[in-house]
Structure 1
Amino acid sequence: MKDTIRKASSVGLKILPARIRHIGTDASREVLNNMYEDLVQKCDILMNTFVEDILVENGRAVGILLADGTERRGEYVIAAPGREGASWLAGLVEKLNIPIASMPVDIGVRVEVPDSVCEDLTQHFYEVKCLYNTPTFDDRCRTFCMNPSGFVVYEYNKSHDLVTVNGHSLKNVKSRNTNFAILVTKNFTQPFNDPIGYATHVAKLANMLAGGGILLQRLGDLRDGRRSTQSRIDRGMITPTANAQPGDLSLVLPHRYLTDIVEFLDALNMIMPGVNQNDTLLYGVEIKLYSLRLELRKNLQVPVIERLFMAGDGAGVSRGIIQAAASGVVAARAILG
């Protein structure tokens, strides 16, 4: 492990080691169902219910207003809408005059390679998280959601009616490939104030070119400035785990993002030999809609509204399911004192 971290440092990569217990997407359904069965005996859980507003009286959160006009009142309110609800939260933040610390957006691709390329790392880390500042544009890039022996999947965003790419691993069913995301983080400044709109626009371009799906391109074709074809993908050494449309990601992602991604892959080759070879598969696009990063206290309370807390990815507090769960614990502990 120390040797891997040393090699990474030599090319400007920062590895964030963390212990992870993998349960798989299939087993996680059982875990979530068990959580639901336990909680439903202790509180009301309303499914498929739209929250119209957060009720604030005299500078204090007192409850929520549902779309059907019903009010649900309580001593505290925690808003944890997830990435799907990021746009919803953005509207409320503007209405309630909650200060925004920054407006970053993450856009990138999902990379798919043979298990053998990553197995030296995944045997030690399971999920490798790397940070990198690219040499050309000095942009911050990171790996995200690594799935050994996993599968690339479609992700449908109902709020924006678009399809993006994602990945997962199962406990009981395995592939021969490892997939992970490369995400480029950009912080926008005034007068621009719609990072979510920017990211969804890029994703919709990919959907348009892919006939409503996602695009797939060999890294070698991207370097050579040509679109991928099904025949070239079939001749390659990697069998895709997702049914994606061969195409040209340079027609979707800005040059700056593509340069960042290629430079990051070249750096990652130091610790994942073969990750930057021509047959490496790139699926596009992957976006993360947690673009609002609010000004919050350490306990995640909104400073301008008493008894209102934020948690999870949709509020920009976290960037991943484990961290999102932990942020909920932070807010709950603050409420309990």
Structure 2
Amino acid sequence: MTKYDIVIIGAGPAGLFSALKLSNNPKLKILLIDKGKKIKSRKCSQNSKTGCVKCQPCNLICGWGGSGAFSDGKLNFTHKIGGWLGEYLTPKDYDNLIKDSENLWLKFGAPKKVYGQNKKEVQKIIKKAKKADLEIITFPIRHMGSDGGREILENMYKYLKDKIKIKLNTQVKDIIVRNKKISGVVLDNGKKVYAQNVVIAPGRAGSDWLLTLAAKYKLEPQCNPVDLGVRVEIPSKIYTSIAKYLYELKVHYKTKTFRDNARTFCVCPRGEVTMEQLTGQFPVTTVNGQSLARIKTKNTNFAILVSTKFTFPFKDPIFYAKSIAKLANLLSGGVMVQRLKDLVLGQRSTKERIKRNLLKPSFRSANPGDLAFVLPYRYLKDILETLQALDRIIPGIWCNDTLLYGVEIKLYSSRIKVKNSLETKVKNLYVAGDGAGLTRGLVHASVSGLVVARSILKKIK
């Protein structure tokens, strides 16, 4: 009978950083499982002639490194953003863990260059933003790039492969609970793997699977806000003056009509728009973005996301967000793109209009359409108001040729109830990362992994 001290489900930042810290104890028998492939085997055809082949599981979001492996690779070292870990950690402890995370990223090759350090120029941008009722969140950023990030993740693989057992291309179907205590996991082939501790770090791709477990084992998921919006593409030259000092422009905006919370997310200077396949019981295609450290485009893209926190009796924010994404899929066959002018005029974009557009789309597989048939009016209104406000600090965003891709959703919408140690009500069962609804982003997911590892090590001692 195979038995481990710890089984970690998910090889994204949360799972990897748990493994990195736990592996410092050579006496521990650790198994790391992920349903995806090795980092070097994760190939995506969406920008090739063949286009997206809808591989299962999606290579963009599953496998070694998680969805972060194909993200823009931004490391945001701050507790001002990044989810809800602040509800479980003291400010001092949180800052110390962020520093520990930063040191580990640097150890495996993260760049030394830090953006956001020119305080004089940053303050000028903040002052300008205030006049437009925009709040800019500033913090130190290290930019790996999608390609640089994959090299760092490969370095982590090389380091861990001789210290722990790694099982890729393997899906966990269920967990084993006996007398309210974790005993192991069940693989998709029916094989049981026993363990004293289990860490579930499924990433955004596995968030709906975790919700299924939460319902079965009464883990008491709590609704987080739904984050829903579009990816905006603009000429990179109009963003240059900002990118020079703030690689990631994090803007929060209270919309005028509905007083909703809108924000910019994942700015990709001189990057490209991408798409990803969200698997699970209700698979959908969504939009994302990335920047490469070595290859640059003439475009910059970013998301505008609107957060909505629903109340009783609503219990399924993930299905809500996926349902809207499904509308875009049905109407466009995948990802939809629309010119800002067409959206404002109430007309769909066509292939001819996109072809004549001064700004050429970086994602060629997107099909022209009308986002007004996809997004609820409230979200559309919020997005348009946010674009108009952003135009006051980045002139040229509110332009006929600006491209909007739909839809973008972030599935950290249901948070599992946990103790400060991130242990669930099932003894020795822990959750971590974005998929558990605790974090947003690479650094904070990795911090949650460190919290879990620390909690387990304390118990073992």
Verify the 8 A CA contact 2:227 2:306 in the aligned structure 1: yes
Quote the RMSD (CA, aligned, Å). Answer: 1.6
Distance 1:265 1:38 in 2: 44
Please point out which of 176, 196, 208 is paired with 2:298. Answer: 176
1:36-115 → structure 2 map (5 Å cutoff)? 36-115=157-236
Please point out which of 126, 129, 135 is paired with 1:8. Answer: 129
Distance 1:33 1:2, change over 3 A: same
Please point out which of 252, 272, 289 is paired with 1:151. Answer: 272
1:115-264 → structure 2 map (5 Å cutoff)? 115-159=236-280, 160-210=282-332, 212-243=333-364, 244-264=366-386
3-state SS of 1:76 partner: strand
| Unaligned segments of structure 1, at least 5 residues | none
Identity %: 48
| Unaligned segments of structure 2, at least 5 residues | 1-121
Distance 2:267 2:126 in 1: 17
Please point out which of 256, 265, 277 is paired with 2:387. Answer: 265
How many Å apart are 1:305 and its aligned residue? 2.3
Q: Which amino acid aligns with 2:257?
A: T
Distance 1:11 1:5 in 2: 10
- The alignment's TM-score, normalised by the length of structure 1, stands at 0.94
- The alignment's TM-score, normalised by the length of structure 2, stands at 0.70
Verify the 8 A CA contact 1:269 1:276 in the aligned structure 2: yes
How many Å apart are 1:7 and its aligned residue? 2.0
Verify the 8 A CA contact 1:150 1:167 in the aligned structure 2: yes
- The answer as to 2:142 corresponding to 1:21 is yes
Distance 1:207 1:296 in 2: 35
How many Å apart are 1:177 and its aligned residue? 0.7
Higher deviation after alignment, 34-43 or 86-95: 34-43
Verify the 8 A CA contact 1:299 1:330 in the aligned structure 2: yes
Verify the 8 A CA contact 1:127 1:146 in the aligned structure 2: yes
How many Å apart are 1:264 and its aligned residue? 0.8
How many Å apart are 1:237 and its aligned residue? 2.5
Higher deviation after alignment, 266-275 or 52-61: 52-61
Q: Which amino acid aligns with 1:266?
A: Q
Aligned residues: 335
3-state SS of 2:166 partner: coil
Please name the residue that 2:118 is paired with: none
Please name the residue that 1:274 is paired with: 396
